[in-house]
């Protein structure tokens, strides 16, 4: 089992969600995050131009069985890339064990 | 017949009283919207303080200081008609104000006006003034400075004798508040982070522009009462003309500020649109009953440009006015007062000079008294919160409260 964490553009969320569903990754969690990066966003307020390096992104957390790892990553990359700086990153982490709380099942069976 | 006329006029004047009251909601919305989330409770508290205490002070002495009953031609400067309010004999009769309103309506309408001067200050000094200092200053300013200045013109004092004209208060209300805002901002210093090491202005964006926009539209609505009620009766010709000039100036002010700012800064800034509308309203206020539609549009167009230039000029002076109160109320207030000498029924060189004199005399009095009052307040309570309190936000450090305790934003 692996945990796949992906930082993605918010504007790409729907595309990535649909791509994940297409490869039968149906369960995941996400939250909105603010990060600091090289990219600068230009703003103007009352005649003052300023830029902020604070970037709004969405963070996905997906736990999958080993056989799903490659296609999950491919789905995110294929659907999430715009070829511009700031498309985000994917991290893959080992997961020791997983349980379904309702039944107490563990391992791959608990994931779907 | 007289009773019917008095009743009709009095109802209109009470409607205008409601509208001027409603402006306090506009100010509360505008000021909280254009400042940061961490200072929202503080702004609202100040706005509540100003309308409540302002009304009480006006009842205790302000009204009688502002309308002390100067005799015709005695060029009054200071007179006090005593504490408290008691309707005079005949105060409810047709004879009191040529059937325009009753004495009670008179008090309440003027009372709603009085508090606005201090509310103008509250936005400019936001996010760093100590609450106790603001409250003390507001009491003294609404209790003494505003009514004394008001008595010189509306109370029948020496400026009235000189022929100075200020229909609904471009100078008497808006500049009086604006001068105090200017001195307050100067004495307080800028908010932490407003200017960088090199002294260049930085943006500290307001946290709720929809709220601020609602505030501006509410203020515009309130102005129907502010100017419409300043006719002091429901006179059909004057009230309807006044509402037309008021709205045209507001519209022209908004349009010119928005498009002038977009040329200057290459973006469409809603806050400039908002301030432009207010600038137009403040500009027409001195002569709303004297202007033709064309005059009022010209006054508004010019006011909108003044607002945009004023905001950037004030920042060049290293003064930090979070809501643009100085540009809107002081600069456009002066412009509107002088415009009475340039446009409309009274336009003449002599009138312009009289207007200029009025602006100068009232300006000097407000600047000096603001300095004195703020020095007194500084000596008693200190003016500014500590650096730590300011960074934490006044909501937590002054009130131990949060404006949006459970609120999370789902940003796109």
Nearest by CB: B410 against A32, A44, A46 = A32
| pLDDT band at residue B302 using 50, 70 and 90 as cut-offs | very high
| pLDDT band at residue A4 using 50, 70 and 90 as cut-offs | very high
Contacts of B319 in chain A (CB under 8 A): none
Q: Which of A49-58, A97-106, B261-270, B316-325 has the lowest mean pLDDT?
A: A49-58
Contacts of B269 in chain A (CB under 8 A): 44-47
Q: Which CATH architecture has domain B2-68+81-399?
A: Orthogonal Bundle (1.10)
Q: Tell me how close the Cα of A90 comes to any Cα of chain B, in angstroms.
A: 21
Q: Pick the residue with more confidence: A85 or B189?
A: B189
Contacts of B205 in chain A (CB under 8 A): 43, 45
Residue B355, pLDDT > 50, answer yes
Look up residue A35 and give its two tokens. Answer: 């990060």
d(CA B26, CA B383): 26
pLDDT at residue A95, rounded to an integer: 95
Q: Does the interface predicted TM-score (ipTM) exceed 0.90?
A: no
Domains of chain B, residue spans? 2-68+81-399
**B86 interfaces chain A, CB cutoff of 8 Å:** no
Residue A46, pLDDT > 90, answer no
Rounded to an integer, the average pLDDT of B185-204 is: 93
Rounded to an integer, the average pLDDT of B247-253 is: 98
Q: What is the domain class of A2-111 according to CATH? A: alpha beta
**B259 interfaces chain A, CB cutoff of 8 Å:** no
Rounded to an integer, the average pLDDT of B250-277 is: 96
Look up residue B85 and give its two tokens. Answer: 């309010």
The helix (run of H) or strand (run of E) holding residue A70 is helix A69-80
Interface test with A, best of B35, B198, B200, B265 (most A CBs within 10 A): B265
pLDDT > 70 in chain B, percent: 99
Cβ of B265 within 8 Å of Cβ of A44? The answer is yes
| pLDDT band at residue B230 using 50, 70 and 90 as cut-offs | very high
d(CA B74, CA B161): 8
pLDDT at residue B296, rounded to an integer: 97
Determine whether B83 is exposed, middle or buried from the number of CB atoms within 10 Å of its CB (0-12, 13-18, 19+).
exposed
Residue B112, pLDDT > 90, answer yes
pLDDT tens track for A17-40: 999 999 999 999 999 998 887 777
pLDDT at residue A8, rounded to an integer: 95
Residue A55, pLDDT > 90, answer no
Q: Which of B82-86, B112-116, B406-410 has the lowest mean pLDDT?
A: B406-410
d(CA B382, CA B180): 17
| pLDDT band at residue B262 using 50, 70 and 90 as cut-offs | very high
pLDDT at residue B410, rounded to an integer: 53
Cβ of A46 within 8 Å of Cβ of B269? The answer is yes
How many A-B residue pairs are in contact by the CB < 8 A criterion? 38
**Structural contact between residues B37 and B396, judged by C-beta atoms closer than 8 angstroms:** no
pLDDT tens track for B77-99: 888 988 989 888 888 989 888 89
Nearest by CB: B264 against A45, A47, A56 = A47
CA B72 to each of CA B89, B90, B93, B155, B275: distance values in angstroms, whole numbers, following the listed order = 20, 20, 22, 11, 39
Which chain B residue's Cα is nearest to A51? B203
**A33 interfaces chain B, CB cutoff of 8 Å:** no
Which chain B residue's Cα is nearest to A44? B267
Residue B196, pLDDT > 70, answer yes
Closest-CA residue to B274 (of B316, B304, B248) = B304
Query: Does residue A29 sit in helix, strand or coil?
Result: strand
Q: Tell me how close the Cα of A69 comes to any Cα of chain B, in angstroms.
A: 28
With the C-alpha atoms ordered B57, B63, B65, B66, is the resulting torsion angle positive or negative? positive
Residue B151, pLDDT > 80, answer yes
| pLDDT band at residue B408 using 50, 70 and 90 as cut-offs | low
| pLDDT band at residue B354 using 50, 70 and 90 as cut-offs | very high
Q: Pick the residue with more confidence: B75 or B371?
A: B371
Contacts of A48 in chain B (CB under 8 A): 201-203, 315
SS (H, E, C) chain B: CHHHHHHHHHHHHHHHHHHHHHHHHHHHHHHHHCCCHHHHHHHHHHHHHHHHHHHHHHHHHHHHHHCCCCCCCCCCCCCCCCCCCCCCCCCCCCCCCCCCCCHHHHHHHHHHHHHHHHHHHHHHCCCCECHHHHHHHHHHHHHHHHHHHHHHHCCCCHHHHHCCCCCCCHHHHHHHHHHHHHHHHHHHCCCCCCECCCCCECCCCCCCHHHHHHHHHHHHHHHHHHHHHHHCCCCHHHHHHHHHHHHHHHHHHHHHHHHHHHHHHCCCCHHHHHHHHHHHHHHHHCCCCCCCHHHHHHHHHHHHHHHHHHHHHHHHCCCCCCCCHHHHHHHHHHHHHHHHHHCCCCCCHHHHHHHHHHHHHHHHHHHHHHHHHHHHHHHHHCCECCHHHHHHCHHHHHHCCCCCCCCCCCCC
pLDDT tens track for B3-56: 999 999 999 999 999 999 999 999 999 999 999 999 999 999 999 999 999 999
Domains of chain A, residue spans? 2-111
| pLDDT band at residue B409 using 50, 70 and 90 as cut-offs | low
pLDDT at residue B412, rounded to an integer: 44
**A43 interfaces chain B, CB cutoff of 8 Å:** yes
Nearest by CB: A50 against B203, B308, B412 = B203
Closest-CA residue to B343 (of B309, B294, B381, B307) = B294
Helix and strand numbers, DSSP H then E, in chain A: 2, 4
Look up residue B127 and give its two tokens. Answer: 């996010």
Cβ of A47 within 8 Å of Cβ of B324? The answer is no
**B205 interfaces chain A, CB cutoff of 8 Å:** yes
**B202 interfaces chain A, CB cutoff of 8 Å:** yes
**Average pLDDT of chain B to the nearest whole number:** 94
Rounded to an integer, the average pLDDT of B173-191 is: 97
Nearest by CB: A48 against B201, B266, B411 = B201
pLDDT at residue A86, rounded to an integer: 85
As a dihedral over the C-alpha atoms of residue B23, residue B29, residue B35, residue B40, rounded to 10 degrees, the angle is: 110
Closest-CA residue to B18 (of B218, B166, B314, B203) = B218
pLDDT tens track for B217-228: 999 999 999 999
d(CA A66, CA B196): 52
Rounded to an integer, the average pLDDT of B359-375 is: 97
**A31 interfaces chain B, CB cutoff of 8 Å:** no
């Amino acid at each position: 089992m692996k945990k796949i964490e992906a930082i993605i553009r918010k504007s790409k969320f729907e595309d990535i969600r649909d791509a994940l569903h297409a490869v039968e990754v149906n369960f995941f969690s996400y939250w909105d995050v603010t990060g600091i990066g090289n990219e600068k966003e230009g703003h103007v307020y009352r005649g003052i131009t300023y830029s902020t390096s604070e970037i709004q992104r969405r963070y996905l957390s997906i736990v999958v069985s080993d056989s799903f790892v490659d296609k999950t990553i491919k789905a995110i990359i294929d659907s999430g890339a715009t070829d511009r700086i700031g498309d985000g990153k994917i991290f893959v982490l080992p997961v020791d064990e997983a349980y379904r709380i309702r039944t107490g099942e563990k391992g791959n069976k608990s994931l779907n | 017949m007289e009773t019917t006329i008095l009743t009709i006029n009095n109802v209109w004047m009470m409607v205008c009283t409601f509208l001027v009251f409603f402006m306090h909601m506009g100010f509360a919305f505008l000021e909280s919207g254009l400042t940061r989330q961490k200072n929202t409770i503080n702004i609202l508290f100040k706005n509540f303080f100003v309308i409540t205490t302002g009304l009480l002070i006006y009842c205790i002495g302000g009204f009688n200081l502002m309308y002390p009953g100067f005799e015709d031609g005695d060029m009054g400067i200071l007179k006090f008609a005593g504490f408290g309010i008691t309707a005079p004999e005949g105060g409810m009769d047709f004879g009191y104000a040529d059937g325009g309103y009753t004495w009670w309506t008179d008090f309440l309408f003027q009372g709603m006006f009085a508090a606005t001067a201090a509310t103008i200050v509250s936005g400019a000094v936001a996010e760093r003034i100590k609450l106790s200092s603001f409250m003390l200053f507001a009491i003294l300013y609404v209790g003494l400075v505003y009514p004394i200045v008001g008595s010189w013109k509306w109370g029948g004092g020496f400026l009235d004798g000189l022929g100075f004209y200020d229909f609904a208060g471009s100078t008497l209300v808006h500049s009086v508040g604006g001068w105090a805002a200017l001195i307050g901002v100067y004495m307080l210093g800028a908010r932490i982070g407003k200017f960088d090491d090199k002294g260049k202005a930085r943006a500290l964006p307001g946290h709720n522009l929809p709220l601020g926009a609602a505030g501006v539209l509410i203020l515009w609505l309130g102005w129907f009462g502010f100017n419409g009620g300043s006719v002091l009766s429901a006179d059909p010709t004057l009230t309807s003309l006044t509402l037309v000039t008021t709205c045209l100036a507001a519209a022209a002010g908004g349009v010119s500020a928005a498009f002038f700012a977009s040329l200057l800064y290459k973006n469409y800034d809603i806050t400039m649109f908002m301030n432009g509308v207010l600038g137009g309203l403040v500009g027409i206020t001195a002569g709303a009953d004297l202007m033709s539609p064309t005059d009022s549009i010209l006054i508004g167009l010019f006011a909108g440009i003044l607002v945009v230039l004023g905001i950037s000029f004030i920042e060049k002076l290293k003064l930090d006015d979070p809501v643009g109160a100085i540009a809107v109320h002081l600069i456009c207030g002066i412009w509107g007062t002088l415009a009475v000498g340039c446009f409309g029924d009274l336009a003449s060189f002599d009138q312009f000079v009289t207007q200029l004199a009025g602006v100068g005399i009232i300006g000097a009095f407000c600047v000096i008294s603001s300095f004195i009052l703020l020095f007194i307040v500084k000596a008693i309570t200190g003016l500014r919160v500590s650096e730590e309190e300011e960074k934490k936000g006044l909501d937590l450090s002054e009130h131990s409260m949060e404006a949006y305790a459970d609120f999370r934003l789902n940003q796109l």
